[in-house]
């Protein structure tokens, strides 16, 4: 189950944005492989040929979406990151950025985190993902060296935190949890306790 889709503008001025909006909705609802280009065109209110004026293929379209939203996440995390702060403060910043992204862009979050993308990501999309993972891994290694976070494979720690975050969000989307500020804060404290020394 995913969050409700926002109301679509009836006459979008920008056809490219209308196509991206429609594709985002459909990729979240049906997945990449379950979505056909004519469905995107119909949802966007454009002719199927119009899509190919902006994107060379369905793969090009999905990569444009992936890059746009992953880069947005990266900007949120990297902008004004407190590099010299204690790990606890840095972790809280990570969590707050992810929380803000979910609250402001729930369908983009669903698209990025609840679908397997490996089969169709191009080199540029992989670079965006790699840059974000390298930053997160460097943060973990640095805080491990300072004796603030458990010494284990950074990918295990990333899995623990990201898995918990996604799980909490899904609980809300599926109607089991009201995703209040308090619930987010409780989850953040539990994740910190799981990884700290």
pLDDT confidence of residue 1: 61
Alpha carbon distance 164, 147 (integer Å): 23
**How many residues comprise the chain?**
197
Give per-residue pLDDT as tens, 81-124: 998 999 999 999 999 999 999 999 999 999 998 777 878 999 99
Q: Low-confidence residues of the chain, pLDDT below 50?
A: 9-12
pLDDT confidence of residue 13: 53
Could you identify the residue written with the tokens 């707050």? 96
Token code pair at residue 53? 């004026």
pLDDT confidence of residue 14: 85
CA distances from 124 to 63, 105, 155, 180 (A): 8, 22, 22, 36
Residue 196's DSSP bridge partners are 149
pLDDT confidence of residue 3: 65
pLDDT confidence of residue 158: 96
Token code pair at residue 48? 């199927």
pLDDT confidence of residue 118: 79
End-to-end CA distance of the chain: 36
- 100 contacts: CB under 8 Å, gap ≥ 6: 76
**65-195 CATH:** 1.10.357.10
pLDDT confidence of residue 152: 97
pTM: 0.87
pLDDT confidence of residue 145: 97
Domain ranges of the chain: 65-195
């Amino acid at each position: 189950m995913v969050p409700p889709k926002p109301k679509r503008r009836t006459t979008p001025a920008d056809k490219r944005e209308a196509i991206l909006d429609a594709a985002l909705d459909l990729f979240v609802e049906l997945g990449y492989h379950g979505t056909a280009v004519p469905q995107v065109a119909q949802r966007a209110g454009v002719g199927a040929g119009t899509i190919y004026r902006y994107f060379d293929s369905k793969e090009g379209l999905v990569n444009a979406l992936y890059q746009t939203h992953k880069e947005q996440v990266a900007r949120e995390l990297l902008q004004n990151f407190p590099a010299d702060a204690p790990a606890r403060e840095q972790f809280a910043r990570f969590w707050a950025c992810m929380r803000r992204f979910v609250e402001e862009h729930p369908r983009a979050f669903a698209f990025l985190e609840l679908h397997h993308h490996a089969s169709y990501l191009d080199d540029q999309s992989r670079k965006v993902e790699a840059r974000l993972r390298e930053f997160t891994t460097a943060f973990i290694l640095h805080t491990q060296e300072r004796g603030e976070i458990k010494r284990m494979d950074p990918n295990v720690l990333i899995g623990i935190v990201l898995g918990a975050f996604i799980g909490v969000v899904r609980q809300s989307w599926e109607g089991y949890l009201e995703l209040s500020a308090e619930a987010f804060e409780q989850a953040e404290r539990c994740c910190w306790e799981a990884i700290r020394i």
